[in-house]
Amino acid sequence: MTERRYFGTDGIRGRVGEGAMTPEFMLKLGWAVGEHLRHTTGRSKVVIGKDTRLSGYLFESALEAGFAAAGIDVLLVGPMPTPAIAYLTSTFRAQVGVVVSASHNPHYDNGIKLFGAEGRKLPDTDELEIEAALESAMHCVAPEAVGRARRIEDAGGRYVEFCKSTFRSPAALHGLRVAVDCGNGATYHVAGDVLRELGASVTELAVKPDGFNINQGCGATDLALLQRTVTEQQLDLGIAFDGDGDRCMMVTRSGQVVDGDQLVYVIATSRKQRKKLRGPVVGTLMSNLGVEQALMEQGIEFIRAKVGDRYVMEQLLTHDGLIGGESSGHVICLDRTSTGDGIVTALQVLAVIMNSGQSLEELIAPIHLYPQLLVNVRLESGDANSVLTAAAVQQAKQTVEAELKDAGRVLLRPSGTEPVIRVMVEGEDGASVKHHAEHIAQAVRDVSAG
């Protein structure tokens, strides 16, 4: 196989009960991953974690049965952030980590992410081999070879201690007043403990998941609750995570949003000042031009990867870099951990604040963001590639690019997780950016409608 049927840019994702999001598919997927492991590494073990969606129980059990049928031992850790599974996979010497999560999506979606033994997402070649195994008939190993399963009761404590170990500052967080919005997701029982144990005064938000309220009016994708709490209670700053805890967004004491691009700038410039930065900083095609310019003014090379934290990681490894990320809040600090981690990201920024004595507002002040607008157009018909290459869409894009010249950017790309085309326009004037983005988006809508 050369093309992936099920895996997108961030694992497999969809609406529960439809497509790949069924118990039958999850049973087969567990078996297929197990078969891949058995033929490449011999008898193996995997770690399975999940976020707080109700459907996590369903898929966790189906995956467990599939792995057992392939002769693979299973360690169950329950609700844990995605980066915690990456860490636990490595620390337990497991061959694969499995996360049952649809990240920032609503509760009615779910998905699967896979990590290798080193705590990094599986490469495309492994995903293709797993998809090939999915096409085979499922069978069970001999009764004496069936995999065992056990639950790890102290997984949360292990991860809390790991996160704390990444906070490298002689000054603890004493005196810092923060609000933490866990999005009713997988960080709900660990993020507050990490910050409190490091000395901060913590106001917790959205830490009562009920299986349905994940990412609902809270978390890294909806910052209104966090902004209101920080400003009304006059706190120093706010931190928000998405449903599976690999994204981090922050707000200043005045309620200003600080996105992943800006967090990358804060972390990278601090590392540079302390002579701890190596290689270029990696962003994506969506990264704001203002952040690129601010980094360059500090003498820091900046390169762009395709959208998706797996592609940021690829570029970091290729260019021997340490720091990279996306505006959505995925930030990778390879000098601290093996994958994007929302809590670790927050701790790196807090360490800069404590070491420098500067506020978050002061740290991001050198960045002059360009107005940027992202319009998500849901497809009514046709596949994304045919819509993107349609003459009308290309003509609209070229018209806008001609008007922007060198003072802006246009990016059209399909979502890796939804039937959506993302239209991004960036320029010097907010009103013209809005006009240009809507012009292209309407061309996409017209072509999709047929």
Give the residue carrying structure tokens 């993302």.
422
DSSP state of 236: S
Sign of CA dihedral 256, 164, 355, 304: negative
In 171-306, which ranges are continuous DSSP H helix?
191-197, 224-232, 260-273, 289-297
Compute the distance between CA of residue 317 and CA of residue 325 in angstroms, rounded to an integer.
13
Residue type, 347: L
Q: Pick from 7, 209, 215, 186: which is nearest to 100 by CA?
A: 186
What residues have CB less than 8 Å from 281, skipping those under 6 apart? 264, 268, 295, 300, 301, 302, 303, 321, 323, 324
Active-site residue, from 44, 55, 101, 103:
103
What is the C-alpha to C-alpha distance for residues 105 and 374, in angstroms, rounded to an integer? Answer: 17
| Catalytic residue flag (residue 103) | yes
Measured from the Cβ of residue 38, the count of other Cβ atoms closer than 10 Å reads 18
Structure tokens given for 118: 């080193």
Cβ–Cβ < 8 Å for 358, 426: no
Residues 408-423: b if buried by 16+ CB within 10 A, e if exposed: bbbbbbbbbbbebbbb
Contact predicate 346/260, CB 8 Å: no
What is the C-alpha separation between 419 and 72, in angstroms, rounded?
34
Q: Which residue has the tokens 């797996």?
A: 310
Q: How many residues appear in the chain?
A: 450
Sheet holding 96-100, edge to edge: 12-15, 109-116, 96-100, 45-50, 73-79, 149-151
Alpha helices by DSSP H, listed for 309-341, are: 309-318
Give me the active site residues, please: 103
